[in-house]
Amino acid sequence: MIPGKYRSVSGRAANNVNCGLHLVIQTSSLPEKNKVEFKLSKDTSSFPGRLLQHDLERNYSSRQGDHINLVSSSLSSFPILQRSSEEKILYSDRLSLERQKLTVCPIINGEDHLRLLNFQHNFITRIQNISNLQKLISLDLYDNQIEEISGLSTLRCLRVLLLGKNRIKKISNLENLKSLDVLDLHGNQITKIENINHLCELRVLNLARNFLSHVDNLNGLDSLTELNLRHNQITFVRDVDNLPCLQHLFLSFNNISSFDSVSCLADSSSLSDITFDGNPIAQESWYKHTVLQNMMQLRQLDMKRITEEERRMASVLAKKEEEKKRESHKQSLLKEKKRLTINNVARQWDLQQQRVANIATNEDRKDSDSAQDPCQIDGSTLSAFPEETGPLDSGLNNALQGLSVIDTYLVEVDGDTLSLYGSGALESLDRNWSVQTAGMITTVSFTFIEFDEIVHVLPKLKIKFPNSLHLKFKETNLVMLQQFNALAQLRRVDQLTIDPQGNPVVNFTLWKYYVLFRLSHFSMQKINGTEVTQNDMIMAERLFGILAHVASSELPQYRLISILGDARKKQFRYLLESKGKKPGIINEENNDSKRLVGENTNRATLNYTTRDFYNEKLEEIKEKKKFCKMYIEDLVKEATEINMKNEALQKLWPQMFIELVRDAVIEIRNKNSYMKLCLQQITDQK
């Protein structure tokens, strides 16, 4: 019968009663003088109060009071243990052989009724000679030199197995110990939890002071109530939430640095006592509150009882943390929605560019001279294209459906920056923007929008956002220097950023100098993040100054008069606007007026008209393609004729060769006649 103290996690282990033991290691071949006697003191000690809490560093420590006789035997390599009948009656179910300097397990005959066996503090290297003790309930081999768990397959009644402080490297050979209640393997060299899933009755498991780096493979331990993993190298824990009866878990002095690595503990409904002291996580300021927030059922943390005040504070912090998480989740959703919308806009942009390229290719194959070219890249032409309804990528499609992302454009205000993605975003300029918001905007960014479409809204931009000083262009099809002429109609530009992505114009070596020359009346400060120097302005004037003079001198008179009229109107309008303003505003307006007045007539002649330019350019390209097509067709025709002649020759040549050979054979068949014929031919030639 197992003492009641084995049935409780926190109770004491069964005591070894101070029993009179007469141990005789006997042989008939040795004389009496070879016997060695040991005196054992009489005392009794027991397990500590908590079996695993203190790593079972003390265990059976009772001493037998009688003499022990050890006799060497030449017939067997194992000593033989015998007890007197009185001792067997007095201590019928237990035997303690601790501190006997044993290197092997002795042969125990006539003791099949033993239930408790103690081999503590010896030098035993292998478990042997106990297979006949099939009624054994408790086996204590603490503090020996055992390297492998073995020799236990017949002990089907074993309930307590204490193998702490040995040299075991692997948990094995426990398949038949299905009734095991306490398993102590602390102080060994185990690196992995394994081969214990069948121990469905195991209540206490001690794996402290081993070499474990992670905790898993605990499924099947349905009765486990106490698990000691102190003093290991554990970084994460799994499967603990699958232990329905686990109450006490000791993880002190490991390498756990975040609650995420032990998040499965939050799903355990039975845990009431846990320790994390000695881990990096325990040094964090949020440690205690985080543990209590996620494990509200705990009663003790790091061996200290949790008070109601601590629970209340943890609950308050949990609510605040939940609010932060909700807000963070909301922001994450918005961020993800923005990302997916931009991806959708980018995809629509790519499809649009492909359609334009395909239509241009198809149109070039036709010989019609239509006045309106469908390849024209401006607002009216783009609106004629049907909306793309083809399927999206499966992953992107699911994400878009989950977030209801079907937009083909995006308008975002972030601080002083207005970002516009997709041509549909240009319609936002018609909104009733608040004065405060409109006044804050100093940077306007255009992405995935045709520059020709942007040109049409530049007057609105000047009116809606009077303080906009910085323009950004990315994926806007800026392909020629003339397009920068359109920016001259803005009120003011201090900075200009042209992203190389989707803007081939930046590949031109002199594009920055042209921008400085054409927009010199703005006195720009930065281009693509680089400061504009006085030398840059001088170089721009030298490179392109003559261009403006030639352009104005070659213009028809009616066109030049029209441009001069526009320039005069601009100057007069800004001079009139400066009147009647408050003193603090006049200086700023005058500065803007000076900027505009600085746009001289020569520069004003350099305009950008999208439709006319593209029509002219496309006509030129069409003529070149037509010439190339005709030239290639002539080459192909000539090559075809040569090939046909070659094929005809290949077909006729075999027959021609046969005829040549036949004629030659016939001619020389009669040598005399052939020679006469040859001489006759020579004579005739003379």
Tens of pLDDT along 249-279?
999 999 998 888 888 888 888 888 999 989 9
Instruction: State the pLDDT at residue 206.
Output: 95
Site of tokens 């809204």: 457
pLDDT at residue 14, rounded to an integer = 35
Work out the average pLDDT over 383-400: 41
32-46, 58-72, 113-127, 635-649: lowest mean pLDDT where? Answer: 32-46
Specify the pLDDT at position 464: 87
Q: Rounded mean pLDDT of 481-487? A: 88
Residue 182: pLDDT above 80? yes
C-alpha 437: how far from chain center: 37
For the cut 50, the answer to whether the pLDDT of residue 91 exceeds it is yes
Whether residue 339 has pLDDT greater than 60 = yes
CA 533 to chain centre: 44
Q: Which of 63-72, 350-359, 397-406 has the lowest mean pLDDT?
A: 63-72
For helices 308-364 and 287-294, angle between their N-to-C axes, nearest 10 degrees: 80
Instruction: Write out the CATH class of domain 410-566+598-603.
Output: alpha beta
**Residue 48 predicted with pLDDT over 50:** no
Q: State how far the Cα of 643 lies from the Cα of 650, in Å rounded to an integer.
A: 11
Q: List the domain boundaries for the chain.
A: 67-190, 410-566+598-603
Q: Could you tell me which residues come within 8 angstroms of residue 190 by beta carbon, excluding any fewer than 6 positions away? A: 168, 169, 170, 171, 207, 210, 211, 212
Q: b or e along 365-402 (b: 16 or more beta carbons within 10 Å of the residue's beta carbon)?
A: eeeeeeeebebbbbbebbeeeeeeeeebeeeeeebbee
Closest CA to 183 of 140, 145, 129: 140
The CATH fold assigned to 67-190 is: 3.80.10
Residue 675 has what pLDDT? 86
Residue 291: what pLDDT?
Answer: 84
Q: Which letter does DSSP use for residue 32 in this model?
A: G
In the predicted structure, residue 395 carries a pLDDT above the cut 70: no
This prediction has a pTM of: 0.47
Lowest mean pLDDT among 217-231, 513-527, 656-670: 656-670
Chain-centre distance for alpha carbon 590: 55
Which of these ranges, 32-36, 147-151, 442-446, 457-461, has the smallest mean pLDDT?
32-36
| pLDDT in the model for residue 547 | 76
Per-residue model confidence as pLDDT tens digits over 25-39: 333 333 333 333 333
- Which range has the top average pLDDT, 42-46, 58-62, 285-289, 456-460? 456-460
Stretch 331-356: mean pLDDT: 85
Q: Which is higher by pLDDT, 374 or 77? A: 77
Q: Which residue has the higher pLDDT, 558 or 17?
A: 558
The pLDDT confidence band at residue 448, using thresholds 50, 70 and 90, is very high
Rounded distance between C-alpha atoms, residue 426 and residue 456, angstroms: 10
pLDDT at 444: 93
pLDDT at 285: 76
Residues contacting residue 127 through CB under 8 Å, at least 6 positions apart: 105, 141, 146, 149, 150, 151, 152
Backbone angles phi, psi at 85, to 5 degrees: -60, -35
pLDDT (0 to 100) of residue 396: 43
Please say if the pLDDT value at position 64 is more than 80: no
Angle between helix 557-578 and helix 583-597 axes, rounded to 10 deg: 170
User: For position 101, what pLDDT does the model report?
Assistant: 87
pLDDT, position 562: 60
**What is the tens place of the pLDDT at every residue in 122-177?**
999 999 888 888 889 999 999 999 999 988 988 888 999 999 999 999 999 999 89
Q: What is the mean pLDDT of residues 505-522?
A: 90
Say which residue, 604 or 34, is predicted with more confidence.
Answer: 604
CB 336 within 8 A of CB 403: yes
Question: Average model confidence (pLDDT) for the chain?
Answer: 76
Q: What is the pLDDT of residue 600?
A: 64
Please determine, for residue 83, whether its predicted confidence score (pLDDT) is greater than 80: no
The yes-or-no answer to whether 67-190 and 410-566+598-603 have a common fold is yes
Over residues 533-538, mean pLDDT: 92
DSSP 8-class letter at 183 = E
403: pLDDT confidence band, cut at 50, 70 and 90? very low
For residue 476, what pLDDT band results from cuts at 50, 70 and 90? very high
**What is the model's pLDDT at position 420?**
92
Which one has a higher pLDDT value, 364 or 269? 269
Residue 354 pLDDT: 85
